[in-house]
Amino acid sequence: MSKNALNDVAARKAKAREKPYKLADERGLYLLVSAAGKYWRLDYRFEGKRKTLAIGVYPDVALALARERRDTARKQLAEGMDPGLIRKTQKREKSEQRANTFEAIAREWHATRAAGWASGHGERIIRRLERDIFPWIGGRPIRDITAPDLLSVLRRIEGRGALETAHRALRDCGQVFRYGIAAGRAERDLSADLKDALATAKGGHHAAITDTKEIGGLLRSIEGYRGSFVTKCALRLAPLVFVRPGELRRAEWAEIDLEAAAWVIPAERMKMGESLIVPLSAQALAVLEELRALTGSGRYLFPSARSPHRPMSNNAVLSALRRMGYDKEEMSGHGFRAMARTVLDETLQFRPDIIEQQLAHAVRDPNGRAYNRAQHLEERRKMMQVWADWLDARKAGAQVLPFRLPA
């Protein structure tokens, strides 16, 4: 090493002057000192032209590392290559890699489609990708992802029992791959290879949203629903009372006691053949008061659009959910019952027998006797109000906190 070579002490002690100046090392490397900072530079000639290569910023790039980079650049010159052009090419490739990661393309696809989706639908898709896909393969170039890579990620979702979510995530990824192909940034749709790889959801279960964040999105979608006012009221009331869809659509004003804040569904309209008292929360009463101004003079709360003498179609609520962007594997009219049952048990921690009784399931006391319709009414009334308040908080985007009924 030349005795005139730069050392780390000199580099560290170098102070800015009125004008930028150079501290020479050797073999073309020098430290440019200015008021803005200290920069390693390498002067060289290529094809008769004088050029300068940026090596790094001191002290992030120490003297030893700057010399390694200088030596690499000089080897490139010896092989007839321009180190400056190589650096620009590498930067461009890195930039392209960042732009062509799965997450970058997925967000681009989402942004181009979101305007055409119903309120809340796009929010659910991007949240699903952020939660279940991006942490594992989001940062990888989309061209480098293989079918086994994608399957491994989907198996994580499948492993926690969320089979429908796994299938929806697969469909989302398929759309991202197809968008990438159309944009010339992906080669093929890997989701097609996994068509039969995931387990299918067991039949007999109604699609339901039970994730607390997705519940908030659903409630906000209902508030933004632009269809029939009667249907909107049915959608607003459904989560608050979580009765069966047939019981809701055939509800009659004669069964509603607004002063007592109760809805008594007669036995002949109940699946189990026993009448049910549905305590009405303040939120449920508010919906009914709005609705009464429109349909209160007739028989049904939710009359058919074609005839006030018939209840609304059994597809009215389901069709509204589809218009809002919820497909058959995401949410159903029966899904409000599963939603309530899951949250009341797991999050709000109410007694299972109280929840089951409100769901009008067959429930027996410790002596094997069936509960009558009035038993635990006060506990159920408290539960229904806590549930309604919890739904309001989710709609507003509040934090989820467990609730325990006071002793």
Spot the catalytic one: 22, 91, 188, 271.
271
Spot the catalytic one: 244, 341, 381, 395.
244
Spot the catalytic one: 371, 373, 376, 382.
371
Angle at 270 between CA 267 and CA 272, to 5 degrees: 95
Spot the catalytic one: 337, 341, 380, 395.
337
User: What per-residue confidence (pLDDT) applies to 99?
Assistant: 65
Q: Which two tokens stand for residue 333?
A: 């009219």
Among residues 11, 14, 13, 66, the alpha carbon closest in space to that of 42 is found at 66
CA distance 318 to 301: 17
User: What per-residue confidence (pLDDT) applies to 124?
Assistant: 80
Q: Which residue ranges in the chain fall short of pLDDT 50? A: 203-204, 365-368, 400-407
Spot the catalytic one: 70, 334, 381, 394.
334
Residue 59's identity, in one-letter code, is: P
CA distance 107 to 160: 26
Catalytic, 244? Answer yes
How would you write 292-322 as a 3-class SS string? HHHHCCCCECCECCCCCCCECCCCHHHHHHH
Could you write out the DSSP letters of every residue in 26-63?
A: STTEEEEEETTEEEEEEEEEETTEEEEEEEEEETTS-H
Region 8-86: CATH code: 3.30.160.390
CA distance 29 to 83: 14
Catalytic, 67? Answer no
Catalytic, 371? Answer yes
Compute the Cα dihedral for 109, 110, 111, 115 and give only its sign. positive
Q: Where are the domains of the chain?
A: 8-86, 102-194, 212-395
Spot the catalytic one: 91, 94, 309, 361.
361
Catalytic, 309? Answer no
Catalytic, 334? Answer yes
CA distance 219 to 182: 35
22 has which bridge partners? 32
User: What per-residue confidence (pLDDT) applies to 270?
Assistant: 85
User: What per-residue confidence (pLDDT) applies to 371?
Assistant: 52
Does pTM top 0.75 for this prediction?
no
Is the distance from CB of 164 to CB of 330 less than 8 angstroms?
yes
Pick the CATH number of 212-395 from 3.20.20.70, 3.40.50.300, 1.10.1060.10, 1.10.443.10: 1.10.443.10
Q: Tabulate helix, strand, coil % of the chain (nearest 5).
A: 50, 10, 35
Q: Which fold has domain 102-194?
A: DNA polymerase; domain 1 (1.10.150)
